Amino acid sequence: MASHRKSRSTGTRVAGIRTPALATAALTSVALLSQTANAAPSDDRPSLEEVEKKVDDLYRQAGSATEKYNAAKEKTSKQRKKVDTLLDDVAKRTQKLNDARTELGSFASAQYRTGASVPETATLLLADSPQDYFDQNQLMNRLTGRQKTAVDDYVTQQSETMKKRREATEGLDTLTDSQNDLKTAKSTVQKKLATARELLSELTAEEKARLAAIEKKKQEEAARKAAELAKQQAAEEEAERKRQEEAAQQQGSGSSSGSSESSTPGSSTGTQAQKALAFAQAQIGKPYVWGATGPGSYDCSGLTQAAWKAAGVTLPRTTYDQVNAGTTVSVSQAQPGDLVFFYDDISHVGLYVGDGKMVHAPKPGAYVREESIFYDGESSIYSVVRPA
């Protein structure tokens, strides 16, 4: 009986179980795929430092796009007002043109009723260019003084109306371009911020803790640099005070009353700077919202603009324009109220407090706060400007 039994494949034992040869191959493939799948994420996933740099870059790009949005928004607002004015003017001139046409029509009707032989006046109302019609037919020579005045008024009103209509059409085209720029900038900001949020959401709790530790270390370094600047500024002020005391003694006055005035801005400018700074500090704790100008939230340039407005000084809306709204000074000469600009694209600004610190609206998810001007490294500082 045994001779009739079919021989069994020896196969391979896996975990004590005998398996067919094909099953063995399949298991091997699965094991290899599993190993590959487990290894892939660790190989392809960016390091925490790379994520941090990418997120910082995205926030900076969003900040730059925000300033473009602010510029486009301001341009759109101004253009809309200009177009509204032009359209109002067109409506008024069109009414005057209609009144002039009605008066000419009354002359034509009167001439028709009396059988007067000046039918050209009626034809005039249908002409594309009344002045050309008059020149070609010498109609002006056969009109009364009152009729000539009416014709002159009609021609003038038609010319002015056509001119204003062309201006309004061009204005509407410009407005459309500005609105498109506004939409593009808004879309760019939203995409950059969405990508940054997505990257941060993928971090584990441990990675977030490590990222917070890196940020804390950066803040400590920034604070150290601020303290160095404060010490340098204090030394320079002291040296200046002594120099002026010596100069006063040489003049025989022995007074140092002028020293305090020269080491600070002029009384008018100094008072305005104090008001601007006081306003900015009062906003600490309010959220950063891109495109916002207060009072409940701000972006960086919205905060500095509102602060100096509270001091009676009108600053432009964007960082690109604010950087040209005063006198540029060195970082070591920075005084309370000065504007501190950052990055080569001038996409961020804060209000100098003193001792190497500033008040600023940092970025989405953060709040208006006071911190070192070296918060993103010394090389990130673009310039310091004292508003005129």
Largest interatomic CA distance in the chain: 140
Closest C-alpha among 61, 62, 92 to residue 165: 92
DSSP 142-168: GS-HHHHHHHHHHHHHHHHHHHHHHHH
- Which residue out of 348, 357, 363, 386 is catalytically annotated? 348
- Which residue out of 300, 307, 315, 339 is catalytically annotated? 300
Annotated catalytic residue 4: no
Contact 277, 337 (CB under 8 A): yes
Rounded to whole angstroms, how far apart are CA atoms 152 and 131? 9
- Which residue out of 360, 372, 382, 386 is catalytically annotated? 360
Rounded to whole angstroms, how far apart are CA atoms 59 and 52? 11
Residue 112 has which token pair?
A: 């028709």
Contact 372, 219 (CB under 8 A): yes
- Burial group, residue 256, by CB count within 10 angstroms (0-12, 13-18, 19+): middle
Task: For residue 110, give every residue at least 6 positions away whose Cβ sits within 8 Å of its Cβ, in sequence order, or none.
Answer: 116
DSSP 85-106: HHHHHHHHHHHHHHHHHHHHHH
Rounded to whole angstroms, how far apart are CA atoms 79 and 172? 8
Rounded to whole angstroms, how far apart are CA atoms 220 and 16? 60
Contact 139, 127 (CB under 8 A): no
Contact 273, 337 (CB under 8 A): yes
Omega before 46 within 30 of 0, i.e. cis: no
Q: For residues 342-377, b (16+ Cβ closer than 10 Å) or e, as one string?
A: bbeebbbbbbbbbebbbbbbbbbeeebbebbbbbbe
What is the gyration radius of the CA atoms in the chain, in angstroms?
38
Active site (catalytic) residues: 300, 348, 360
